[in-house]
C-alpha cells in the first residue's frame, strides 16, 4: 500500500527528535530549549515604509509553518516579531511625501498586519514596535558605555567592534576580513569604519527622543536586542530572519547583547530563510524587481501562496514565476479534490485506513523533524493520496482521512475542507446537462458542458453522480 520511501523512513521515526540547522555552528543540532518545552522565538519583522513584498512573505509564511509544527509537537512557543517603526528609510519616505515619518510608519504597519492576516499567518503572539522600547534601548546603551564597548561622537553613539573579539562568528568571517571589506567611513570620528550606530543624534525635523547623549533615535540593531532582552531576558532559544540579515544586523545583535550581559550564547539557535529570486536575482525594493503581497493576492489566492512557500525548504532559494505558482496551485487543487472525494465516500468494503494514516503521519513528522523539510513532508501526503486512490472507501474511512488531513493542515494551513459553493447559474447549467444526458440528447449536453467551461467550471461524472468542480 505504501511507497518504499514511506516504509523505510517509518522504521526510524520514533528515534528522532527535531533537528534544526544552526547558522552559528553551520550544522544540524537537536532542538533542546533552555527551559523545558518552552521556546522563545524572535523573528525580524518589517521596516514599515512601504508595502511588504512576496520575498518577505516567504520568510513569514515559512516561519508560520515552523511555529505551527513546533506547537503541533507539544512545544510551548512564544513567537515575538518586531516592527521597525523608526529608521532612515521611513524618514526618507516621509520627507519625499512631505509627511510625518511616524504617519508613514503607522500606515504601513497597518498594511503589513493586514497582509499577514490575508496570508493566514496566525502564529505570532506579539508584534513589538521599536518606539515602544526607547527606555530599554537607552538602558542597554548605558550598559555598553559602562563596560567600555560604546563611545560618543558628534553625530551619535557607536559600538566599538574591536572590543568584541567574537564579532564575525555568525557570518563566519574573522574581524580583520570584516574590516577590509568595510565601506569608507562617513564619520571620521569613528574608531573603525565597521563600528555601528547605537544612537543617532537628531537632525532638523526628524523624530527624536531625549537621552543622555542629547535628542536622537536608536540605531537599527539596538532596537531588536532591547526588545528581546525586555521580553525574554539576555538569552533565548531561537532567532530567525532572512539570510540577508546575518551580516551586519544579526552579527551586531550578538555583539551588543553578549557585550552588555556578559552571557553567551545570546541566542542558542539561529535560523535563516533563503531568498526569493526573480530571474535568479534577489527580490528587493532597492533593485525594484518586487511584487507586493497585495498585488500577488489579486492574482493568486492566499492558500496557493502559502503552499508555494511551504513546498520549498526554507533554506532553499526560490525562483519566482507565474508558471511555478500555477504548478503549485494545481498540486494543491489535487489535494483539495481528494478531500472532496473522500467526503462523499460510502463504499461497503472495510479498509485498514488507520494503519496507512499512522504510517504516513510518522513519515510526515520524520521529515518535519529533519530541519522542517516541508517538501518531503508534503511528498508523503501525495504518496498517501496515491495509495488511497486505489481503494474503495467506506464512510468511516472518509471521516478518518478528513481527520488526518485536518491534523496535517494545522501545520500547513493550505487545505480547503468546506464544500465548494456553486453559483446558482452554474448549478442550473449542470442540471440542464444532466437532464439532457438522461434523455441521450448529447448535443445539448455538450453545449451545456462548453458553457460551463467558459465560466470556469466542469462536471466530474463520478459513481455517486455528477459533481460540479472549478477549473484550476
Measured in degrees and rounded to the nearest 5, phi and psi for residue 77 equal -105, 130
Per-residue model confidence (pLDDT) at position 428: 86
* Percent of the chain predicted with pLDDT > 70: 92
Q: Of all helices (H) and strands (E), which one includes residue 78? A: strand 76-83
What are 448's three cell numbers?
451545456
Q: Where are the alpha helices (DSSP H) in 413-470?
A: 424-438, 442-454
Q: Mean pLDDT in the chain?
A: 90
Calculate Rg over the CA atoms of the chain. 27
- C-beta of residue 408 within 8 angstroms of C-beta of residue 363: no
Q: At 340, is the pLDDT very low, low, confident or very high (cuts 50, 70, 90)?
A: confident
- Per-residue pLDDT at 136 exceeds 90: yes
Q: Of all helices (H) and strands (E), which one includes residue 90? A: helix 88-97
Averaged pLDDT for residues 274-300: 82
* Contact residues for 301 (Cβ-Cβ < 8 A; gap 6+): none
Per-residue model confidence (pLDDT) at position 456: 81
Averaged pLDDT for residues 105-127: 97
Which one has a higher pLDDT value, 260 or 9? 260
How far from 398 is each of 223, 339, 352, 436, 437, CA to CA, in Å? 51, 9, 12, 32, 29
Q: Where are the alpha helices (DSSP H) in 181-301?
A: 220-232, 251-261, 293-299
Per-residue model confidence (pLDDT) at position 2: 44
Per-residue model confidence (pLDDT) at position 465: 65
Q: At 350, is the pLDDT very low, low, confident or very high (cuts 50, 70, 90)?
A: confident
Question: How far is it, in rounded angstroms, from Cα 17 to Cα 31?
Answer: 7
* Contact residues for 293 (Cβ-Cβ < 8 A; gap 6+): 51, 52, 53, 54, 56, 57, 115, 118, 119
Which of these ranges, 13-17, 38-42, 113-117, has the smallest mean pLDDT?
13-17
- Per-residue pLDDT at 421 exceeds 80: no
- C-beta of residue 290 within 8 angstroms of C-beta of residue 281: no
- Per-residue pLDDT at 14 exceeds 60: no
Q: Can you tell me whether residue 158 is helix, strand or coil?
A: strand
Helices (H) and strands (E) in the chain, counts: 16, 16
Q: Can you tell me whether residue 212 is helix, strand or coil?
A: coil
Averaged pLDDT for residues 162-185: 80
Q: Can you tell me whether residue 461 is helix, strand or coil?
A: strand
- Per-residue pLDDT at 445 exceeds 90: no
Q: What is the DSSP string of 295-361?
A: HHHHHS-HHHHHHHHHTS-TTS-EE--HHHHHHHHHHHHHHHHHHHHHHT--BS----HHHHHHHHH
Which one has a higher pLDDT value, 77 or 393? 77
Measured in degrees and rounded to the nearest 5, phi and psi for residue 235 equal -140, 145
Which of these ranges, 48-52, 80-84, 399-403, 444-448, has the smallest mean pLDDT?
444-448
- Per-residue pLDDT at 451 exceeds 70: yes
- C-beta of residue 387 within 8 angstroms of C-beta of residue 1: yes
Averaged pLDDT for residues 47-61: 95
Q: Can you tell me whether residue 272 is helix, strand or coil?
A: strand
Per-residue model confidence (pLDDT) at position 11: 41
Measured in degrees and rounded to the nearest 5, phi and psi for residue 189 equal -80, -15
- Per-residue pLDDT at 6 exceeds 60: no
Q: Burial, 212: exposed, middle or buried (Cβ in 10 Å; 0-12, 13-18, 19+)? A: exposed
365-380 in b/e burial notation, b at 16+ Cβ within 10 A?
bbbbbbbbbbebbbbb
72-107 in b/e burial notation, b at 16+ Cβ within 10 A?
ebebebbbbbbbbbbbbbbbebbeeeeeebeebbee
What are 47's three cell numbers?
521596516
- Per-residue pLDDT at 244 exceeds 90: yes
- Per-residue pLDDT at 292 exceeds 50: yes
Q: At 316, is the pLDDT very low, low, confident or very high (cuts 50, 70, 90)?
A: very high
Measured in degrees and rounded to the nearest 5, phi and psi for residue 152 equal -105, 145
Q: At 123, is the pLDDT very low, low, confident or very high (cuts 50, 70, 90)?
A: very high
Q: At 8, is the pLDDT very low, low, confident or very high (cuts 50, 70, 90)?
A: very low
Question: How far is it, in rounded angstroms, from Cα 98 to Cα 224?
Answer: 28
How far from 230 is each of 39, 134, 140, 249, CA to CA, in Å? 16, 11, 10, 19
Measured in degrees and rounded to the nearest 5, phi and psi for residue 264 equal -130, 145
* Percent of the chain predicted with pLDDT > 90: 73
Q: Can you tell me whether residue 404 is helix, strand or coil?
A: helix
The dihedral of CA 140, 145, 151, 154: what is its sign? Answer: positive
- Per-residue pLDDT at 3 exceeds 60: no
Which residues partner with 47 through β-bridges?
Answer: 84
Averaged pLDDT for residues 236-243: 98
Averaged pLDDT for residues 422-439: 84
Amino acid at each position: 500500500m505504501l511507497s518504499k520511501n514511506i516504509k523505510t523512513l517509518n522504521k526510524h521515526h520514533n528515534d528522532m527528535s527535531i533537528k534544526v540547522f544552526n547558522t552559528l555552528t553551520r550544522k544540524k543540532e537537536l532542538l533542546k530549549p533552555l527551559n523545558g518545552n518552552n521556546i522563545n522565538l524572535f523573528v525580524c519583522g518589517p521596516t514599515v515604509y512601504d508595502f511588504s513584498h512576496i520575498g518577505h512573505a516567504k520568510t513569514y509564511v515559512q516561519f508560520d509553518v515552523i511555529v505551527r509544527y513546533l506547537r503541533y509537537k507539544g512545544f510551548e512557543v512564544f513567537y515575538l516579531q518586531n516592527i521597525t517603526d523608526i529608521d532612515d528609510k521611513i524618514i526618507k519616505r516621509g520627507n519625499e511625501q512631505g509627511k510625518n515619518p511616524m504617519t508613514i510608519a503607522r500606515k504601513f504597519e497597518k498594511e503589513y498586519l493586514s497582509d499577514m492576516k490575508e496570508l493566514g499567518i496566525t502564529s505570532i503572539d506579539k508584534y513589538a514596535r521599536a518606539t515602544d522600547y526607547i527606555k530599554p534601548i537607552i538602558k542597554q546603551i548605558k550598559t555598553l558605555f559602562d563596560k567600555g564597548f560604546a563611545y560618543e561622537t558628534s553625530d551619535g553613539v557607536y559600538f566599538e567592534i574591536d572590543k568584541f573579539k567574537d564579532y564575525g562568528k555568525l557570518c563566519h568571517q574573522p574581524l580583520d576580513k570584516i574590516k577590509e571589506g568595510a565601506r569608507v567611513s562617513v564619520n571620521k570620528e569613528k574608531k573603525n569604519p565597521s563600528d555601528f550606530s547605537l544612537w543617532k543624534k537628531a537632525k532638523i525635523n526628524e523624530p527624536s527622543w531625549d537621552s543622555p547623549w542629547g535628542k536622537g533615535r536608536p540605531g537599527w540593531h539596538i532596537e531588536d536586542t532591547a526588545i528581546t532582552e525586555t521580553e525574554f531576558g539576555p538569552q533565548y532559544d531561537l532567532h530567525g530572519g532572512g539570510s540577508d540579515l546575518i551580516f551586519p544586523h544579526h552579527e551586531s545583535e550578538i555583539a551588543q547583547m553578549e557585550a552588555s550581559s556578559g552571557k553567551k550564547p545570546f541566542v542558542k539557535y539561529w535560523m535563516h530563510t533563503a531568498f526569493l529570486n526573480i530571474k535568479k536575482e534577489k527580490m528587493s525594493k532597492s533593485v525594484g524587481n518586487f511584487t507586493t503581497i497585495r498585488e500577488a493576492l489579486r492574482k493568486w489566492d492566499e492558500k496557493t501562496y502559502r503552499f508555494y512557500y511551504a513546498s520549498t525548504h526554507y533554506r532553499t532559494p526560490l525562483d519566482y514565476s507565474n508558471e511555478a505558482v500555477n504548478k503549485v496551485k494545481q498540486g494543491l487543487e489535487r489535494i483539495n479534490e481528494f478531500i472532496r472525494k473522500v467526503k462523499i465516500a460510502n463504499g461497503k468494503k472495510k479498509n485498514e485506513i488507520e494503519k496507512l494514516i499512522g504510517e504516513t503521519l510518522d513519515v510526515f513528522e520524520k521529515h518535519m523533524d529533519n530541519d522542517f523539510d516541508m517538501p518531503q513532508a508534503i511528498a508523503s501526503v501525495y504518496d498517501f493520496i496515491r495509495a488511497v486512490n486505489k481503494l474503495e472507501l467506506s464512510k468511516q474511512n472518509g471521516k478518518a482521512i478528513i481527520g488526518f488531513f485536518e491534523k496535517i493542515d494545522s501545520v500547513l494551513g493550505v487545505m480547503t475542507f468546506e464544500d465548494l459553493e456553486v453559483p446558482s447559474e452554474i448549478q442550473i447549467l449542470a442540471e440542464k446537462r444532466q437532464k439532457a444526458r438522461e434523455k441521450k440528447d448529447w448535443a445539448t449536453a455538450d453545449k451545456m458542458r462548453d458553457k460551463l467551461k467558459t465560466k470556469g467550471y466542469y462536471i466530474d461524472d463520478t459513481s455517486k453522480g455528477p459533481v460540479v468542480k472549478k477549473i484550476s
